[in-house]
Structure 1
C-alpha cells in the first residue's frame, strides 16, 4: 500500500517560529524589568545624566555589539548591557518628572505604551497578516525622522516638538507591527535581534508619549 510522505519541514518551521516568538517575549519581559530596576536604582541614588555624547556612544555601541552577537550566547550579555544602560539614561529623566509632580504623567505614558504594544502585537498575532509591505514606508519614515530630528535643533517651537514625538510613535508602532509579522512568518530567526528592535520601539513610544502628555499639560 502506498504511503503518503510525512511532511516534517512545515511543522519544523512552525515550531522554530513559535520558539523565536516565545523566546522574544520572554527576553523582552526580562530586559524591560531589568531596565526598570536600573532606572529605579538611578532614581534612588539621584545619579546624574550621562550626557548626550556618552548616551549616543553607549547606545549605538551596545546596539552594534548586540546585533553583531545576535546568534551567540554573548548576545545575551550585550542586550542586558544595552537595556541596563538605557535604564540608567532614563532614570534622571524620570527623576525630573517625579521631583516636579509629574508622577501621574509617567504612569499615563507607561500605561499608554503597554496598551499600544499589546494592541499592535495582538492584531498581528490574531490576524496573521503579513506586514512586509511596510518595509519601504518604514525606510521612508526613518529618513523623515532623521531630517525632523536635525531640524529640532533649530526649531524650538512646542508644536514642532509634539509633532516629532507623534512621528516617533507612528514609526515605532509600525516597527512593532513589521517585526512581529517577521517573527510569525519566519523572517526573523534571532530572538535577541527581535527583542532589541521591540525594546527600542517601546522605549521611543514611552518617551514620546511622556513628551506629548507633559507638553499638553503645560499648554
Structure 2
C-alpha cells in the first residue's frame, strides 16, 4: 500500500484543472480577436470613404507608428481591467485607419477588390494552419522568441529606410520576410497560451492581432505588385 501516491483519477483531475484555464484563455482570445476585426474594418472604411490619410508622408506615418506604440504600452498597463479592453478596440480602429493608403492604392487597380479579398482569405488560411499546428504539435516553439524579435527589428529598420528609398525590390523582400516572420509568431503566440505561458487574453489578443495584421498588409502588397491590373 502506498497511501501517499496519487491515484490515476487524481492525476487526470489535476491535468484537467490545469488545461481548463488555458482553454478559456485561448477561447476568449479567439472571440476577442474576431471582435477586434469590427473596429478595424470600420476604421478602414471611414479612412477610405473620407480620404483621411490623403497626402500623409513618411514623417506622418512615423507619427502614426508612435501613436500605435503608445496604445500598445497603455493596453499592457491596463490589461487586467475593462480599460485595457477599450484601449484594445480603440487601437484596432486606429490600425484600420492606417490601412487607408494601402487600401486606396490597391483599389486603384481594376481588380483591387479581388486582391483585398484574396489577401483576407490568404491571411485567414495562414492563421488557421499555424494556430492548428500550435495547438496540436508536441514540438516546442518557445525558443523562437528571441530570433523572431530580432527579425521584427530588422523589418522595422528596413521599412523605415524604404520610406525614403522607395525601392520596389526591397518592398518585396520586406513583405516576404514579414509573412514568414509573423506566421512563425502565430505559432509562438498561440503555443504560449496553450502551454500556460500567457494567461491574459487581452495581451494574447493584441499579440495575435498584430501577427494577423502584418501578414494581411504584407500579402496585399505582394498581390498588388504581382497581380495588380489596370484593366
Same fold, TM exceeding 0.5?
Answer: yes
Picking from 16, 23, 31, the partner of 2:21 is 16
Aligned residues: 219
Give the deviation of 1:128 after TM superposition.
4.4
Consecutive unaligned residues in structure 2, runs of 5 or more: none
Distance 1:166 1:20, change over 3 A: same
Give the deviation of 1:10 after TM superposition.
3.3
- The answer to whether the 8 Å contact 2:39/2:93 transfers is yes
1:72 aligned residue: 81
d(CA) in 1 for partners of 2:139, 2:202: 23
Q: CA RMSD in A?
A: 2.3
Tell whether 2:40 aligns with 1:40: no
1:183 aligned residue: 193
Give the deviation of 1:12 after TM superposition.
2.4
Distance 1:40 1:128, change over 3 A: farther
d(CA) in 1 for partners of 2:170, 2:97: 27
Q: Which runs of 4+ in 1 moved over 6 A?
A: none
Secondary structure of the equivalent of 2:99? Answer: helix
Matches within 5 A, 1:1-219: 4=6, 6-7=10-11, 9-49=14-54, 51-101=60-110, 102-153=112-163, 155-217=165-227
- The answer to whether the 8 Å contact 2:39/2:90 transfers is no
Give the deviation of 1:203 after TM superposition.
0.9
- Further displaced range: 177-186 or 85-94: 85-94
Give the deviation of 1:41 after TM superposition.
3.1
What are the Cα deviations for residues 76-98 of structure 1, in whole angstroms up to 9, with x where unaligned?
Answer: 01101100111122134313322
